[in-house]
Amino acid sequence: MTEQTLFSPYTLGKLTLANRVVLAPLTRNRAGQGFVPSEFAATYYSQRASAGLLISEATQISRQGQGYQDTPGIYTPAQIDGWRGVTDAVHAKGGIIFLQLWHVGRVSHVDLQENGVAPVAPSALRAATKVFVNNHFEDVSEPRALDISELPGIVNDFRQAAANAIAAGFDGVEIHGANGYLLDQFLKDNSNLRTDAYGGSIENRARLLLDVTAAVVSEIGADRTGVRLSPVSPANGVSSSDPQAQFDYLVEQLDALGVVYLHVVEGATGGPRDVAPFNFAALRQRFKNTYIANNGYDLDLATSRLAEDQADLIAFGRPFIGNPDLVERLKRGAPLSAFNPATLYGGGAAGYIDYPTLAESSVSAS
C-alpha cells in the first residue's frame, strides 16, 4: 500500500468517510451559559470537516458527569439545540461527526457539582490529578462511592444522551471508556475496590461499560455506536494489574454487541506509546469492525500502520488545533503550524477558530 491509503475513502458502518483521518476529541473549555456549545463551536468543527470522521470534545451526559469548567453537555433542550448548529455546519461541509459521551466520575470538583456535593466514583478513592475549574487547575475533590442502586440511573443517562445526540443531528456517538474517567475507573482495579457485582473480577469490572454500551446500542443502533478505550494509560491516576486479560475480555464482549468501532489510546494518553507492555494487535484480532488507532501518530507512523493492517483509521489530536486543514497538509507533506498553549483551555475565538489554513498562510505571506 502507498501513503495515499490514509487519504482513501473508508466505509464505517453505513457511512462513507472521505479519508481515514479522524479528529480526536479535544477538550477546549469554551461552552457558554447552561453548558451550551459556544457560538464559535460550529465554525471550529466545520473548519476541520475535511477529516473523514470528527469526534466531538468530551460532552457530559449529566450535571453529575461534569469535571471541568465550561465543557458542553447533552442533557438539556438548549444543549441539543446548540449542538444542532454544530452538526448542521459540519454536514454543510460534507463532514461526518460523532459526539463523545462523558461521565468523569471522581475527576471533578465540588464547585462543578450541583449544590456542591461530592463527585462520585466506584470507590471512595481520591484521584491524584487536577481539573480546570475557577479559571485554573485545582486538585480534584474527595469522591463518594456510588451505591449499586444508582448505577441503572447512570446507564440511563448515557442512553438518553445518545438519543439526544441523534436528535441534535450527530451521525453517531462515542462512549468515553478511557483516560481515567468513570467507566475506566470501574475497569481498573486500583480505582475499583468494590465487592459487589461491579467489582473484583475482570467480568464484574467491565460490567458498567458493557451495560452502558448495550443501552446505547439498543437506543440508536450498533452502527452508530463507538467506544474509546485506553488499556495502559495512567491518565487521572488509574492503573490495572491485569490489563491484557481485562481488555481482551472487554473487546470480545464489545465485538459481540456489534459496536461500529473501537478507538484505542495506544500507550499513555498524550505521552509515550511504550508506557507499559501491551499487545494492541490482540484487541484488533478480537474485534471484527473498525479499529481507530490513537496516540502520537504522524504521517509516517500512520502510513506504516495502515500498510501493515494494524489499524483502519488514524486519530490525530493536538495537530488539528493549529491546523484546521490538517488533512491537506498531510497530503501535501506541508509543515504543520504550532498551536498556542495559552489559549488551549477556555477563552473565545483567539486560539480557537483563528488558525489559518495553508492557503490562507500563503496569501498572507505573499
Whether residue 338 is predicted with pLDDT greater than 90 in this model: the reply is yes
Whether residue 1 is predicted with pLDDT greater than 60 in this model: the reply is no
Q: How many CB atoms lie within 10 A of CB 221?
A: 17
- Domain of 122 in residue numbering reads as 3-365
Question: Could you give the 3-state DSSP secondary structure of residue 162?
Answer: helix
CATH number, domain with residue 320 = 3.20.20.70
Number of domains in the chain: 1
Parallel, antiparallel or unpaired: strands 10-12 and 15-17: antiparallel
- Calpha distance 245→242 (Å, rounded): 6
Half-sphere exposure in the Cβ direction for 231 (13 Å, CA): 28
Residue with cell 433542550: 77
Amino acid at site 105: G
Least Cα distance to 24 among 98, 104, 103 occurs for 98
For residue 355, indicate whether it is catalytic: no
Parallel, antiparallel or unpaired: strands 172-176 and 225-229: parallel
Partner residues linked to 150 by β-bridges: none
Angle made by CA atoms 317, 322, 324, in degrees to the nearest 5? 80
What the block records as the C-alpha cell of 293 is 488507532
What the block records as the C-alpha cell of 185 is 475507573
DSSP for 254-276, written as a single string: HHHHT-SEEEEE-SSTTS-TTSS
Which residues does 310 contact at the CB level (< 8 Å), separation at least 6?
280, 281, 284, 293
- Calpha distance 34→15 (Å, rounded): 32
What is the rounded end-to-end Cα distance, in angstroms, of the chain? 37
CA 114 to chain centre: 24
pLDDT tens for 18-44 read 999 999 999 999 999 999 999 999 999
- Calpha distance 335→127 (Å, rounded): 38
Q: How many CB atoms lie within 10 A of CB 334?
A: 15
CB 191 within 8 A of CB 183: no
pLDDT tens for 167-221 read 999 999 999 999 999 999 999 999 999 999 999 999 999 999 999 999 999 999 9
| Active-site residue, selected from the candidate residues 75, 181, 345, 352 | 181
0.85 exceeded by pTM: yes
Least Cα distance to 209 among 184, 232, 226 occurs for 184
Average pLDDT over residues 225-237: 97
pLDDT tens for 87-135 read 999 999 999 999 999 999 999 999 999 999 999 999 999 999 999 999 9
Average pLDDT, the chain: 96
